[in-house]
Structure 1
Amino acid sequence: MTQTFINGKIFVGDTEDHFVNSMVVEDGTVKRIGDNLPNEGEVIDLQGQTVLPGLIDCHTHPKYIADALHGVACTPPNVNSIKEMQEALRNSPAYGQGEDGWIEGWGFDETKLAEHRSPNRDDLDAVSTTQPIFIYRSDCHSSVGNSKALELAGIDENTPDPVGGKIERFADGRPTGFMREVAASQLLIRAKSAQSYENDVANMVNSSEHYLKEGIVAIGEMMGRMKPYTSLKLYQDAVKQGFGPKASIYYVFDEIDPQVGLQPSGDEKLRVAGIKVFMDGSISGETAYNTDPYPSGKMGVSLTSVEKLKRAVKMARDNKLQLAVHAMGDKAIQTVIDVTKEMEPWLTTMPSVRIEHASLMTDQMFAKIANSKMNYALVTQPIFFFAEDESYRHYLSPAQFKLAYRVKTMLNSQAMLGLSSDAPCTPWAEPDSPFYSIYAAVTRKAANDDIVNAEEAITVPQAILGYTRDGAKIGGFDDNGTLEVGKAADFVILNDDIFTVAHSELKNIHVNETWMAGKRVM
């Protein structure tokens, strides 16, 4: 099938300023681009609308999103207290659906709640003691469950803390329900996932529409799991039932059997792409690992030793996989650079090492990257400072805050820059809207109108490339990222011209249509 799209403002995406007004698509692939091309096959008049290459969210958590879509957003602007959270949970479609039905929520940040504390099991038991309740904290590292959830997970006063995590407890030793960091949260998540694999598949399939409405045609699953089932199997079964976006899976290193290892596999639609390592926690949880203490005196937490990181690097190198390292604090990021900077890259078509978040970076770090042998990507999330400005101001010293999300410096560095969401791991009701992130990257303005390090602002085309061309290169989506000849005809049509609207309106841009392989899918 051949189609000619005419009368558009089509951003090709190979450079910051390459636009054409027409595009010929044949059998789902871009055949020609240019101005006023001769019509072939079906003619589709874009009527002056702006077209972008399909958007890439190269760092997100689709399984969490799938869970969140049928859960409750415990975030501003709708939930601002534990009392409001309880009421929102009672309004969940899962409420009252029987003892096997989990009531789920996501996105709370105790600093934004009126009580200035995290909810605990007693707060959630006030909603239900017969149904399990599970809520992700905004960073998706920590979570909270009610008494029923703890019971199903086998957690009581005698349960030891898992390595790398902490089960918070009341003074009498009884678990509060708050599970600090990923290793502890996984105790609840596994109990939840073990209830119904079929429901998990159905939730993934249902999330497809969410991504396509946002114009997201490809995603990086940054929390690949081996237990209680492999993420690859979950995605394979979801794709069979209609899950649309392309996906790359990064498995958490701690769950990979070192005797078996991990092999790259799959194709452009779905593939195992890399290994994920956690160096530290989050800034809003005061667990990001920093060189200087937080004003409170805390230093954050180191979740991976140098020796363990080296083992992960070796597995990635030996198996020709990417290494994606969660590192928010400056000391965590510095450790990643120090361990890898003298190594020869083992991948040539994409960065071998991805530093995820790269939240606090010094000039010295950028200098080391510039003089290193390794090919790096810095995958960061402007939505974090947009939604969490108060937390960052509260927890960081002024000197630390000046290092936060240096997007322009990243763009001008020797590393490749990718923009992404880390959704749903931020306290905002639309955590993976690319347009909130683009707005934040361009204006450096937070949701509370605070200006965050204005000198680190980038342009609209530069921000878009972080979600298209460069996001595709970082995530290994070779058929995507641009609308050059030979690439997949995956593109979005916007409701307004993102290149000319006032910057204050960028967050209000949305996708009217999403096309994949030359077919409208949303």
Structure 2
Amino acid sequence: MNGADLIFVNGKVLTMDDAAPSANAVVVKDGQIIYAGEKETALSWIYDGTEVVDLEGRTLMPSFIESHIHPSIFGLTLLEVDCKPAATPSIAAIKEKIKQKADAIQEGQWILGWGWDDSKMAEKRNPTRWDLDEVAPDNPVVLKRACAHMAVANSKALELSGIAEDTPNPQGGNIERDEHGRLTGLLQEKAQGLLAAPKYTQEDMIKGMKRAQEKFASWGITTVHCMSTQTADLQLYQFLAEQNKLNVRVRPWMWAIDQNGFDGSLEEVLKVGLRSGFGNDKVKIQGLKFMLDGSVGGKTAAVSEPYVDTEETGILYNTVEEISPLMKRGIESGLRIAIHAIGDRAIDVAIRSYEQINEIVPLQHMRNRIEHCVFPTSTQLRQMNELGLMAGSSIGFLHHIGDNYMKKLGEERMKTAFPHRSFKEAGIKAPGNSDLPVTDGNPWPGIYTLVTRKTSSGQVIGAEEKLSVWEALKAYTTDAAYSSCEEEILGVIKPGAKADVMVLSHNPTEVEAEQLREIEAVSTYVDGKLIYSTNQTRKGESIVQ
């Protein structure tokens, strides 16, 4: 018997394998798990070079898979002015931060920020160009809302971007004007693409991705699905992999068409002949990403019934006739599709588009996805099952911004928001996600919310849609691995799987539900290599450089 590289003993192992859900020892060789079971058998693999980790009763489980985030964008937000609610609880606080930045740089330099949320600020309103003009009149300023579906720009940024009061709204976008027809500075959806903010360099992206990876490792995340991959992103991931500086597995979804300030690559991808699954263990192409509507926070998600106290029903980007042929071209070329659809109107367009394609190209085996999929009807759930569609459910939204959702949509509609129990009963795989940087990327609040259906304020929404702890954990492990057709090697502890694991501060199956969001990764491993440890690093910093 050949010796092992790494052996974990004296712990409680949650394998996430329904056929053999628990063990107390795990053996790793050449980056793979070769045994999960009893300590006595595991120790038979010891030889001179074997590292034995005594878990001291702690829990070992597969590390997390984030099935819908924006890694490179998150990294860049870590380089921008932090406007998240914790850092800027008011417009006054935003203005102070922007003033500090303007005072520290040259006149004319752009100031970019991220993360403001009007629903969590003292004034309960969006910042305006006039707010920003007060503190940075000579610097162009653009601050993106946390949802990424809106941005506010000051007068200088609007001027340099050629946006004036007579600029027409782009299709699928809105340039907000006040009652006098004046620009407020708020740009919604595709209107953000009119902004002329400078592009980041690869050096910036590398710096940001390094910081992002440190966060991922501290959260126990070792695989991420990049849902907005453009040329620079793919170059970034490949460069870091070549330099042996990519300590997270990246699963890119190529941004298909020009939308929201992102450049589409549909024609180039099809011409080159990329197919889903192309790549290696570190970077593996998943498919094409499309968008159909906006966000609930910005009241741009396409819903059938108006938002509370308004006549607004959101923005629907495309019709079936427009989007289905584009999706079909990708599918015929061997590329899976992920399509953003939050409101029921958008979900309807997504499903009808898939149905049209299915009449010509069978889809059931492909594992195509509807992203976010917040408000599907019971009919839509049945249709999704028939088409073999997955729901990339942003359950993190319910925890972090669910209270705002409730205000915008009302109690009755929110009962069936993020319907995970219904997904399961309908036979639909629904991996959980945070849509980082839209909400915080730590999976534990999402897992907590799957189990309790509680928002950050403690409000319970749709209690009948609760999952068990085991089911909630699967949403971030085996179900997420299924979404990349890797359920045999990722998100599970069993022979043949990758040794991507983490040691936890507490056993999630043994603590009270309220303690779930307090659980932390004590150490994180990729391919059996330690990339994070609370014993060797500051919280949130990877030990792999």
With structure 2 as the length reference, what TM-score do the two structures score? 0.87
**Which amino acid in 1 is paired with 2:72?**
K
Tell me, in whole angstroms, the C-alpha distance in 2 between the residues paired with 1:10 and 1:90.
51
User: Contact conserved, 2:133 with 2:154, CA < 8 A, in 1?
Assistant: yes
Alignment of 1:363 with 2:378, yes or no, is: yes
Alignment of 1:5 with 2:18, yes or no, is: no
Tell me, in whole angstroms, the C-alpha distance in 1 between the residues paired with 2:25 and 2:267.
53
Q: CA RMSD in A?
A: 2.4
User: Contact conserved, 1:232 with 1:272, CA < 8 A, in 2?
Assistant: no
Tell me, in whole angstroms, the C-alpha distance in 1 between the residues paired with 2:268 and 2:87.
46
**Which amino acid in 2 is paired with 1:254?**
I
Q: 1:3 to 1:260 in 2, by over 3 A?
A: closer
**1:135 partner SS:** strand
Q: 1:169 aligns with which of 177, 181, 199?
A: 177
Q: 1:232 aligns with which of 222, 231, 234?
A: 234
Tell me, in whole angstroms, the C-alpha distance in 2 between the residues paired with 1:207 and 1:266.
22
User: Contact conserved, 1:214 with 1:511, CA < 8 A, in 2?
Assistant: yes
Q: 2:423 aligns with which of 403, 406, 410?
A: 410
- Pairwise CA distance, 1:247: 0.9
- Pairwise CA distance, 1:494: 1.0
**Which amino acid in 2 is paired with 1:506?**
L
Q: 1:466 to 1:235 in 2, by over 3 A?
A: same
Tell me, in whole angstroms, the C-alpha distance in 2 between the residues paired with 1:100 and 1:66.
24
Tell me, in whole angstroms, the C-alpha distance in 2 between the residues paired with 1:137 and 1:302.
20
| Farther-moved stretch of structure 1 (306-315 vs 149-158) | 149-158
Alignment of 1:516 with 2:531, yes or no, is: no
Name the counterpart of 2:399: 386
- Pairwise CA distance, 1:102: 4.6
**1:115 partner SS:** coil
- Pairwise CA distance, 1:16: 8.5
Name the counterpart of 1:20: 23
Q: 1:239 to 1:101 in 2, by over 3 A?
A: farther
Tell me, in whole angstroms, the C-alpha distance in 1 between the residues paired with 2:507 and 2:338.
34
- Pairwise CA distance, 1:85: 2.0
Name the counterpart of 2:32: 29
Tell me, in whole angstroms, the C-alpha distance in 1 between the residues paired with 2:38 and 2:81.
47
- Pairwise CA distance, 1:86: 2.0
**2:418 partner SS:** coil
Alignment of 1:284 with 2:292, yes or no, is: no
Q: 1:517 to 1:288 in 2, by over 3 A?
A: same
- Pairwise CA distance, 1:309: 2.0
Q: 2:54 aligns with which of 37, 45, 52?
A: 45
Tell me, in whole angstroms, the C-alpha distance in 2 between the residues paired with 1:90 and 1:483.
51
- Pairwise CA distance, 1:259: 4.6
Alignment of 1:203 with 2:217, yes or no, is: no
Alignment of 1:253 with 2:256, yes or no, is: yes
For residues 447-466 of structure 1, the aligned pairs below 5 Å read 447-466=456-475
User: Contact conserved, 2:320 with 2:352, CA < 8 A, in 1?
Assistant: no
User: Contact conserved, 1:218 with 1:477, CA < 8 A, in 2?
Assistant: no
**1:33 partner SS:** strand
- Pairwise CA distance, 1:149: 3.4
**2:492 partner SS:** coil
**Which amino acid in 2 is paired with 1:222?**
M
Alignment of 1:423 with 2:436, yes or no, is: yes
User: Contact conserved, 2:340 with 2:370, CA < 8 A, in 1?
Assistant: yes
User: Contact conserved, 1:381 with 1:420, CA < 8 A, in 2?
Assistant: yes
Tell me, in whole angstroms, the C-alpha distance in 2 between the residues paired with 1:128 and 1:3.
55
| Farther-moved stretch of structure 1 (331-340 vs 142-151) | 142-151
Name the counterpart of 1:79: 88
Name the counterpart of 1:143: 151
**Which amino acid in 2 is paired with 1:386?**
H
| Farther-moved stretch of structure 1 (110-119 vs 449-458) | 110-119
Tell me, in whole angstroms, the C-alpha distance in 1 between the residues paired with 2:504 and 2:149.
34
Name the counterpart of 2:113: 105
Tell me, in whole angstroms, the C-alpha distance in 2 between the residues paired with 1:411 and 1:357.
16
- Pairwise CA distance, 1:257: 5.3
Q: 1:481 aligns with which of 485, 491, 505?
A: 491
**1:87 partner SS:** helix
Q: 1:153 to 1:29 in 2, by over 3 A?
A: farther
Q: 1:111 to 1:130 in 2, by over 3 A?
A: same
Q: 5+ unaligned residues in a row in structure 2: which ranges?
A: 259-263, 533-545
**1:44 partner SS:** strand
Q: 1:47 to 1:310 in 2, by over 3 A?
A: same
User: Contact conserved, 1:121 with 1:147, CA < 8 A, in 2?
Assistant: yes
- Pairwise CA distance, 1:82: 0.6
- Pairwise CA distance, 1:269: 0.9
User: Contact conserved, 1:275 with 1:323, CA < 8 A, in 2?
Assistant: yes
User: Contact conserved, 1:275 with 1:312, CA < 8 A, in 2?
Assistant: no
Tell me, in whole angstroms, the C-alpha distance in 1 between the residues paired with 2:362 and 2:139.
50
- Pairwise CA distance, 1:489: 0.5
User: Contact conserved, 1:261 with 1:315, CA < 8 A, in 2?
Assistant: no
Name the counterpart of 1:191: 197
Tell me, in whole angstroms, the C-alpha distance in 2 between the residues paired with 1:201 and 1:218.
18
Between the two proteins, the alignment pairs up a number of residues equal to 507
Q: 1:54 aligns with which of 63, 67, 89?
A: 63
Residues 359-403 of structure 1: per-residue CA shift (max 9 Å, x gap): 112222223334x2x211111122212222332222214432222
Q: 1:174 to 1:201 in 2, by over 3 A?
A: farther
Q: 1:444 to 1:244 in 2, by over 3 A?
A: same
**Which amino acid in 2 is paired with 1:144?**
V
With structure 1 as the length reference, what TM-score do the two structures score? 0.90
Q: 1:98 to 1:500 in 2, by over 3 A?
A: farther
Q: 1:423 to 1:176 in 2, by over 3 A?
A: same
**Which amino acid in 2 is paired with 1:411?**
K
Name the counterpart of 1:503: 513
- Pairwise CA distance, 1:158: 5.3
**1:332 partner SS:** helix
